[in-house]
Amino acid sequence: MAETDIILSVQGLTTEFSGDRGDVRVLDDVSFDVGRGRIVGVVGESGSGKSMTALSLMGLVPQPQGRVSARSITLDGQEISRLGPSAMRRIRGRDIAMVFQEPMTSLNPVRRVWEQVGEPLAIHHGLGRRAIRARVLEMFELVGIPEPKTRLDAYPHQLSGGLRQRAMIAMGLICEPKLLIADEPTTALDVTTQSQILRLMRDLRDRVGTSIILITHDLGIIAEMCDEVNVMYAGQLVEQGEVFALFDQPAHPYTRGLLASIPRATEPRAGRRMPSIPGMVPNLAKLPPGCRFNPRCGEVMPVCLRRDPGLTAAGTGSGPGHTARCWLHSPNGGTA
């Protein structure tokens, strides 16, 4: 991908937290790119580091317990990894915005919805209440909120879960950001509303041109929505690639386990259990030596217990940019 086609480039993102038992690294050397007008997925189990990646990029990691560092994070060519809190506030909501996982906890219950959705316009553009209200009405129409005029003065508890999520998407897009981060945007929504929200995000990408990072644990959503996907495990990226290439030829045993765990209409047969990955994501304060997936891996080799393999090309026929953190794909075949 040419440099001019990249809206976000993340190189070496690392996040640590200090506690009574010492420092814990929750993100470890995470690197990926997001192309202009592209939807890039981030997938993994709970505790893999998906939401922490979003919070780190947004400058929302709690201080001073949390520390975020990176070799480089550029947004549309601007280096943002070394910006202070006040400088990040100037770009947050304007150039990069986020839709949080649960809108009911993200919206103030005692403020009308239009005031909250339009707040970025007051902060970044200094608009007055009349202009803000008119723009919010336009956004409500854009995101498909029915009877938008009557919803402007509603309080969050007066909207359904799907309408609250649409309002959060309107808030994220109201300043026409270059990049939108959507963290589990369909959690706790019924299947019909989930489908509507996902269709809305794809249509908005096509109409507005905003690039999207879509965080989810659902590989079905990744297959439906995304152009590329980053698979995370225990704070690291373990596989990256174009969606179709990764689904067709998953290179990492963890990715293969996730794909095998997807429910299918013909499974399970009588007396058979659905496939699952044994074990749990490790405690980040007590990581196993070597590859972090080795306690759960059915293809573990001696070298996996000693050394981290790093990201390498996923092998013949895997497609450009398809990488995996696995000794099965190392140049020396895992004999190091």
pLDDT of residue 161: 87
Let me know: does 24 contact 285? Beta carbons within 8 Å.
Answer: yes
**185 found inside a domain:** yes
Number of other CB atoms surrounding residue 242 within 10 Å? 17
Q: What percent of the chain has pLDDT over 90?
A: 69
The CATH number that applies at residue 196 is: 3.40.50.300
pLDDT of residue 100: 86
Residue from 83, 78, 4 nearest 36 by CA: 4
Q: For the segment 109-156, what is each residue's pLDDT rounded down to a tens digit?
A: 999 999 999 999 999 999 999 999 999 999 999 888 999 999 999 999
Supply the range of the domain harboring residue 173.
3-233
Q: Is the pLDDT of residue 189 over 90?
A: no
pLDDT of residue 3: 64
**278 found inside a domain:** no
pLDDT of residue 64: 87
Distance of CA 306 to the CA centre of its chain: 30
**309 found inside a domain:** no
> Distances in Å between the alpha carbon of 242 and those of 18, 238, 250?
36, 14, 11
The reply to whether the predicted model has a pTM over 0.85 is yes
Q: How far apart, in whole angstroms, are the C-alpha atoms of residue 263 and residue 308?
A: 31
**28 found inside a domain:** yes
Q: What is the mean pLDDT of residues 223-230?
A: 95
pLDDT of residue 196: 86
Q: For the segment 283-332, what is each residue's pLDDT rounded down to a tens digit?
A: 999 999 999 999 999 999 999 999 999 999 987 666 678 999 999 987 66
Helix/strand/coil percentages in the chain, nearest 5: 35, 25, 40
Q: What is the mean pLDDT of residues 213-237?
A: 94
Q: Within 13 Å of residue 323, how many CA atoms lie on the same side as its CB?
A: 14
**263 found inside a domain:** no
Sequential DSSP letters for 21-78: TEEEEEEEEEEEEEETT-EEEEE--TTSSHHHHHHHHHT-S-TTTEEEE-SEEEETTE
Angle (CA) 169-174-176 rounded to 5° is 105
Domains of the chain: total: 1
**25 found inside a domain:** yes
